[in-house]
Structure 1
Amino acid sequence: MEQKKEKKKRPGRSEMKAMVQEVFFNNPQKTYNYKQIASLIGATKKSARQLVEVLLFELSESGFLSQVSTGRFKLLSRGSQITGTVDMTASGAAYIVPDDGGEDIFVTQSNLKTALHGDRVKILQFARRKRHQMEGEVVEVIKRKRELFVGVLDVSPNFAFLVCDNKVINKDIFIPKDKLKGAANGQKVVAKIVEWPEKSKNPVGEVVDILGDTGNNNAEMHAILAEFNLPYSYPSEVVAAAEKISEAIPKEEIAKRRDFRKVATFTIDPADAKDFDDALSVKKLANGLWEVGIHIADVTHYVQPDTLIDNEGYERATSVYLVDRVVPMLPERLSNYLCSLRPNEDKLCFSVVVEMNDAAEVKKSWVGRTIINSDRRFSYEEAQTVIETGEGDLSDEILTLDRLAKQLRAARFKQGAVSFDRVEVKFNIDEQGKPLGVFFKESKDANKLIEEFMLLANKRVAELIGKSELSSGFLRQKPKTFVYRIHDVPDPDKFETFSKFVRKFGLEATPQGKESISQSLNRLLDAVQGKKEQNIIETLAVRTMAKAIYSTHNIGHYGLAFKYYSHFTSPIRRYPDMMVHRLLQRYIDGGRSVSAEQYEKMCEHCSEMEQRSADAERASIKYKQVEFLKDKEGEVFEGVISGVSEWGLFIEIVENKCEGLVPMRDLDDDFYQFDEENYCLIGRRSRRKFQLGDQVKIQVARANLEKRQLDFVLAKDDDAWMR
């Protein structure tokens, strides 16, 4: 008997509703009537088409759809005014981080339109589907994070493409042949996007600067600066403006200032420094106290607000320190000559002068403009020799300040400051920029001497304004707007995760008894000194801390244990210090408070530029690490596991601190799973464990300069590999 054909099951009401919703989700900008929707979902029967019409009105009433005209519907957004920042994923899709701090909104690659990573955008937010994350579509790019892009040119006979780092832009930039400016195939160049047609996959750009051949040191360093949207050259008109500034100091200017030219004064700086922006003076007073002058280059005497030099300085906001060079905030005539406190030259300063007893307790202070004449320029090494031997130029003065600084430091830690004395990695570099070797720079007594008095000055100027003190010392009205350097308390979740990790080493980060978090951290950092896990634990401890930023809203500085703190001591290389100098003088002169809103925006800009500068510095160090190990491929080194992720193991070589990745694919003796909570990889079959802090032997497998990436493999004779 012939079997009946099985009837195709008609979708039920809920299934049809889901199908209707899907059409609108996939086409958020389009409008449809019920006939179009019925056709798209295959609802051909009259009853099904009628149900579609009913569903459309229901979805409109529930807030899922908007009826834009009679019988025509469109997906309803939460509101077109939602703005946020694009955080792009490796797949090309992105999450929009809303300005108002709400839930991140997912945007597919097609709905990103021309938005790129870091751009500030306006999005159309779709109504939330049940059990789905928030989704949306970019409708406007409000502000590009970057205008310029750096990459390698791939030139064909009739056109070219600029191939950029995927993390910056996940599309190659099309460059017409007549927009190459003479750049050749394989060269590193900077380009800007001039248009991005709506239906075009790739943006269209033009070359604005040729950096040079790939692998050339200058080209690579300039490429790093361009990658982080940092300047790598100085505008000629700004340099010309600086050259016109007179070096002469008029007598009437000297008459306005406190004169320290006959007091023993000196600078201590790195041996290769040219911009000496701070000096110290010291003398014994008749009342038995020590008068210590902390003298800072008076940059704002020479750089007036809203001039070419000032505007350029504000845009840069900071000097950038790459591994082989300094990109100055101010033109060299100012930073290395007029404002540099060179020995045996009269120099204008803004100073904090304190009177302190033998226990380093400040009894009196004064802040104002001065003139000095430095007796001697010391390198840190020279000053350290004086401290260690007790002999040399100005030995009495240096030894006195060293003794006072050590007491200031002890008092600071007693108040709850956190001690992060990290070892700094430096490269010996030849004239072509090639790294020849690595050395470690440690902070010694001479460094700490300067640090303590700079901290004291920064603290004092912040107290002067934050506590509403005037030059007379009397309390006045509420604090005027000022620029503070603030540092928030550690994130509790991060600190708890960190505490769990250090327990695996038999250590304890959680405060014991009446300890504060800062005291418990100091106890922990003391306990790991000299141990194999020292660098890993110090690195993770730093990551638990908040980032210090600039703000007009003072919350204190947690890491330093100061209620009031600012940046006053480096105006040659930090624009916030110039802001502080101007505000200080304004308020000392009795001026009114400035706009908090305006200065907060300036603070945000300076904090952002500081972060970019730090990122560029790290990128330059990474490049030199890769370059240093390029001719050491195949060599075996002792290492420590410095990071664990689903991609593999990050290993830091002990002897040179270079870090590379052992990719998961190269751990081929087992299937390894990532245990995020315990910072380790565990073999599913063998139960072998690779944990943060473990010592291993690695072999340098690949050193990719283009990607600034080191790939290691575990050496086959390594115990960790065989256990």
Structure 2
Amino acid sequence: MNQTTKNKPGKKKGILKSAIINLYKKEPRKTFNYKQIAELLNENQAADRKLIYGILLELSEEGLLKEMQKGKFKSTYTAKLKQGRIEFTRRGAGYVITEDGDIYIAPKATNHSLHGDTVSVKILKRKNKNKKNEEGVVVDIIERANEQLVGTIEANDKFAFLIPDNPKIDVDVFVPLSKMNGAKSGYKAIVKLLEWPDDAKNPFGEIIEVLGRPESNEAEMKAILISNGIPFVFPDEVIKEAAAISTTLNQSEIDKRKDLRDVLTMTIDPVDARDFDDAISLEFLENGNFHIGVHIADVGHYVSPGSELDKEAYKRGNSVYLVDRVIPMLPEHLSNGVCSLRPNEDKFTFSAMFEIDKNGKVLNEWFGKTVTCSDKRFTYEEAQEVIESGKGEHDKALLTIDGLAKILRKERLNNGALEIQSEELRFELNEEGAPINAYKKITKDSNKLVEEFMLLANKKVAKYVGDVKTHKHVIPFIYRIHDKPDKEKVELFRVFLQKFGKEFKYKNEKDIALEMNKVFQEMKDEPSFSMIQSMAIRSMSKAVYETENIGHYGLGFSYYTHFTSPIRRYADLLVHRILFETIHHKNQQHPGLKDTALHISQTERRAVNAERDSQKFFQAFYVKDKIGESFSGKITGITEWGMYVEMTDLNCEGMVQIKSMKDDKYYFDEKKFSVIGARYGEEFNVGDAVSVVIEKVSLTRKQIDLKLVE
């Protein structure tokens, strides 16, 4: 560099700044500190190094760089790159989920990303035109899904590794002995990721909490929550803010609301429920019609936008229901106390009220803030007993509401809604929390009664806010949408049904739902019914939250949202706020609503994953003392690596791995959806009855390994 340039620090800074920007453009995924950059640019003077550090801070403020750790910067350059969330397969490859479709990432192109991370991807040229997905390489990790991982410690005299529980994270975390913090080999622990140098095979970490011995309920449930990024301890400021809320209703607020405390009102919930966020009321009108009220806990009255409670509820997105515990979205003082519609307690509610005639036609509707008092808390079983016997407390009201629900349900199904009758696996636990029984909970009329009126309220609220003709402009809103089914998946379902001798013909999307309902009706008493429904659900899109309304295919609704559960879903709390503003013609702004919809869709997904992991753990726990025993069962699913078998007497599912079937060389036929023996041609299909032996049980992997009885 010549003397003239040296005497002009402003010019020197400009040259260095351009050189640094070009360096980061060439290496968009690398992290540098100022010393490394000085060495690469051949600037070894102390003053120049100081200037470089200042430029890095300046570029960070301008948004061109991001400070990943103290003094270490990475480029935010994303031109010609796509962004999305990476999900790994068990074989080490990944798929980056973007708005434009999924991008395949080969195992060698994942570049230190982990399952769930938000990444930038450079698209590679397609080598094969027949490939369904684009192929790319990860060039940058925008955000880690979780800076903490859960796993089991393996230690020796010099160092230790944490082996992650999540099978989709196939890299172990190196932990120096100085950062073990009391953890012992064989124990389950939480590791905080510290760094992952570009040239290192493994990330470095520090143990921040020891969970205890593997396979204990407490350790495994905490591990499930942490692995899915679900917070389970409320910050002190959130608890403090919740505790300050009084359970006593303010009279001046009561005076602003419609007082419905004298109207017969009841809740119907599971026997172990503690957060009652919805109630139904009934009035018999003189004209022969019925006034039905759907009353929802007015969480929005207590949780203000921007408050600590609101920020924590947004972060969590929803409550999480594991087998042996609930991780609430709101502290218990609110969820089980202040907001819960407990019997014989006056509560603030947000209500949707409908005048309905004897034919189930909604004649009038009203939405607004109310004060209510539940007269009776029914469990589903208690309500079902009244419905079946025709006698019991509030029998006339309960039978009337049930009759109207059946009319609404019939109309909904005739309009193209799918009729899915879910069977939920439940466990009976002893005092120590160990499972002593596993059983299927079947949906009955009492469940359907509640469901039908919640659906009605959700639909009508969405229509009220979303109808542009009424408001003359679009109101930003959170919808619950369900896209039309994927034709390829429906075709697989059609092939699957052929195994049961069923034809499946359709001309359009509406036909698909009607034909599925027809199949369900024909096969409802057959042993394979639950499998048929499960396969039908897999052929459908996933329901998500969105700001653009496309309707809800599965329910057959043009408008749909979530309004009825604000204690346990952030979406409903937002809907309450927007509905209130719409009623009172307030044009409040909700910036980032689309990002919020994406966020709460993701928190819902992680909750589903955690709940599924919890179920798998307790299934394994339930059968761990039955190793070596034989059971009859049926094949419920087939993959390229094995067959899922549900053991009839246990209601639990395990896997027969194809490699364990030694009497022939078996393979998975994707077109036939079967496992077939290459030599003798023996064929296994979904629905086949088989006998199996429980060969191995792993609580840590939440896995039951089965072997076919020859």
Quickly name the TM-score band, shorter chain normalised.
0.7 to 0.9
Distance 1:446 1:127, change over 3 A: closer
Partner SS for 2:500 = coil
The one-character-per-residue Cα deviations of 1:489-534 (angstroms, maximum 9, x if unpaired) are: 1111111111122022111232389972111110001111121221
Distance 2:228 2:341 in 1: 31
Mean alpha-carbon deviation: is it higher for 130-139 or for 368-377?
130-139
Is it true that 1:534 corresponds to 2:541 in the alignment?
A: no
Counterpart selection for 2:488 from 484, 493, 505: 493
**1:333 counterpart letter in structure 2:** H
What is the letter of the counterpart of residue 549 of structure 2? N
Distance 2:395 2:674 in 1: 52
Letter of the 1:184 partner, please give it: K
How many residue pairs end up in the alignment?
636
Among residues 670, 681, 684, which one is paired with 1:687 in the alignment?
Answer: 681
1:79 Cα deviation after fit: 6.2
Residue 618 (str. 1) matches residue 612 (str. 2): yes
Of 645, 648, 654, which aligns to 1:660? Answer: 654
The alpha-carbon distance between structure 1 residues 167 and 333, as it changes in their structure 2 partners (threshold 3 A), is same
* Aligned-partner Cα distance in 1 for 2:400–2:83: 57
Query: 1:580 matched to which residue of 2?
Result: 575
Mapped contact 1:84–1:96 kept (Cα < 8 A): no
Q: CA deviation at 1:140?
A: 2.1
Q: Which amino acid counterpart does residue 151 of structure 1 have in structure 2?
A: G
Q: Where does residue 696 of structure 2 map in the other structure?
A: 702
Q: Aligned ranges for residues 444-523 of structure 1 at < 5 Å? A: 444-468=444-468, 475-511=470-506, 516-523=511-518
Q: Which amino acid aligns with 2:397?
A: E
Return the alpha-carbon distance in structure 1 between the equivalents of residues 78 and 467 of structure 2. Answer: 45
Shift of 1:107: 4.3
Whichever residue aligns with residue 662 of structure 1, its letter is V
Residue 336 (1) aligns with residue 331 (2): no
CA distance in 1, matches of 2:250, 2:99: 53
The one-letter code of the counterpart of 1:552 is T
Q: Deviations over 1:676-697 (max 9, x none)?
A: 1111112122111111111111
Contact in 2 for aligned 1:352/1:367 (Cα 8 Å): yes
Q: In the alignment, is the contact (CA less than 8 A) between 1:153 and 1:184 conserved in 2?
A: yes
One-letter code aligned to 1:685: R
1:262-661 equivalences under 5 Å are 262-468=262-468, 475-511=470-506, 516-592=511-587, 594-595=589-590, 598-661=592-655
1:199 aligned partner, one-letter code: D
Q: Using the alignment, how far apart are the partners of 1:585 and 1:28 within structure 2?
A: 47
Q: Displacement, 1:156? A: 2.3
For 1:392 and 1:374, how far apart are their aligned partners in 2? Answer: 17
Does residue 101 in structure 1 map to residue 100 in structure 2?
yes
Aligned in 2, Cα 1:347/1:198: closer, same or farther, shift over 3 Å? same
For the residue of structure 2 that corresponds to 1:501, the secondary structure is helix
Give the corresponding residue for 2:59: none
Q: Aligned ranges for residues 41-56 of structure 1 at < 5 Å?
A: none
Q: Describe the SS at the equivalent of 1:104.
A: strand
Q: Which residue of 1 aligns with 2:119?
A: 121
State the distance in 1 between where 2:601 and 2:129 align. 38
Q: How far, CA to CA, are the matches of 2:128 and 2:553 in structure 1?
A: 43
Shift in alpha-carbon separation, 1:126–1:250, aligned structure 2, 3 A:
closer
Question: Which amino acid in 2 is paired with 1:114?
Answer: H
Q: Report what 1:57 is aligned to.
A: none
Return the letter of the residue paired with 1:459: K
CA deviation profile, 1:598-634 (whole Å, cap 9, x unmatched): 1111011001110110011011101111111111111
Specify which of 663, 666, 670 is matched with residue 672 of structure 1.
Answer: 666
Letter in 1 for 2:532: I
Alignment partner of 1:516: what SS?
helix
Range 332-341 or range 664-673, more displaced = 664-673
Residue 424 of structure 1 and its aligned partner are, at CA, apart by: 1.1
Tell me whether 340-349 or 227-236 shows the greater mean CA deviation: 227-236
Structure having the higher Rg: 1
Q: 1:706 to 1:513 in 2, by over 3 A?
A: closer
CA change 1:661–1:103 in 2 (3 A) is closer
1:208 deviates by: 2.1
Q: 2 CA distance for matches of 1:169 and 1:403?
A: 51
Alpha-carbon shift at residue 128 of structure 1 (Å): 6.2
Cα offset, 1:414, TM superposition: 1.2
Conservation of the 8 A alpha-carbon contact between 2:479 and 2:547? yes
In structure 2, the CA distance between the partners of 1:292 and 1:308, relative to structure 1 (3 Å rule), is same
CA separation in 1, counterparts of 2:160 and 2:28?
A: 35
3-state SS of 2:592 partner: helix
Asked if 1 retains the 8 angstrom alpha-carbon contact of 2:192 and 2:207, the reply is yes
Deviations 1:389-424 (A, max 9, x none): 222221111111111111111111111111000211
SS at match of 1:587: helix
How far apart are residue 357 of structure 1 and its match?
Answer: 0.9
Q: How many Å apart are 1:103 and its aligned residue?
A: 7.3
Aligned positions of 1:149-298 closer than 5 A: 149-165=149-165, 167-298=167-298
Residues 671/307 of structure 1: CA separation in 2 closer, same or farther (3 Å cut): same
Residues 484 and 566, structure 1, Cα contact 8 Å, conserved in 2: yes
Given residue 649 of structure 1, which amino acid in structure 2 is its aligned partner?
A: M
1:174 and 1:205 in contact (8 A); partners too: yes
CA shift for structure 1 position 29: 11
Q: Using a 3 Å threshold, how does the CA distance of structure 1 residues 98 and 262 change in structure 2: closer, same or farther?
A: closer
**2-structure distance, mates of 1:128, 1:491:** 24
Q: Which moved more, 1:333-342 or 1:162-171?
A: 162-171
Q: Would you say the 8 A contact 1:78–1:126 is kept in 2?
A: no
Deviations 1:261-293 (A, max 9, x none): 111111111111110111111111223221111
**2:344/2:373 contact within 8 Å kept:** yes
The change in CA–CA distance for 1:132 and 1:406 in structure 2 (over 3 A counts) is: closer
Task: For 1:117, give the aligned amino acid.
Answer: H
Q: What is the distance in 2 between the residues matched to 1:284 and 1:460?
A: 21
Calculate the TM-score normalised by the size of structure 1. Answer: 0.84
Q: 1:481·1:593 contact (CA, 8 Å) conserved in 2?
A: no
TM-score computed with the length of structure 2 as normaliser:
0.85
Residue 84 to residue 412, structure 1, CA distance change in 2 (3 Å): closer
Gaps of 5+ in 1: 1-26, 31-76, 470-474, 717-723
Give 3-state SS (helix, strand or coil) of 1:665's partner. helix
Q: Secondary structure at the match of 2:291?
A: strand
- What is the CA distance between 1:341 and its match in structure 2? 0.5
**2:267·2:276 contact (CA, 8 Å) conserved in 1?**
yes
Alpha-carbon distance change, 156 to 665 in structure 1, aligned in 2, over 3 angstroms? same
Q: State the distance in 2 between where 1:654 and 1:193 align.
A: 43
Equivalence for 1:720 = none
Query: Cα deviation per residue 1:237-280 (whole Å; 9 max; x = unaligned)?
Result: 21121111112212110111001011111111111111011111
Judge conservation of contact 2:247–2:337 (CA < 8 Å) in 1: no
Distance 1:365 1:205, change over 3 A: same
In the TM superposition, residue 127 of structure 1 has moved relative to its aligned partner by 5.8
CA contact (8 A) 2:94 2:110 kept: no
Q: Matches of 2:510 and 2:146 in 1, distance apart?
A: 46
For the 8 Å contact 2:113–2:119, the answer to whether it is kept is yes
Residues 651 and 96 of structure 1: is their aligned pair in 2 closer, same or farther, counting only changes over 3 Å? closer
Deviation at 1:187, TM superposition (A): 1.7
Gap change, CA 1:375 and 1:418, over 3 Å in 2: same
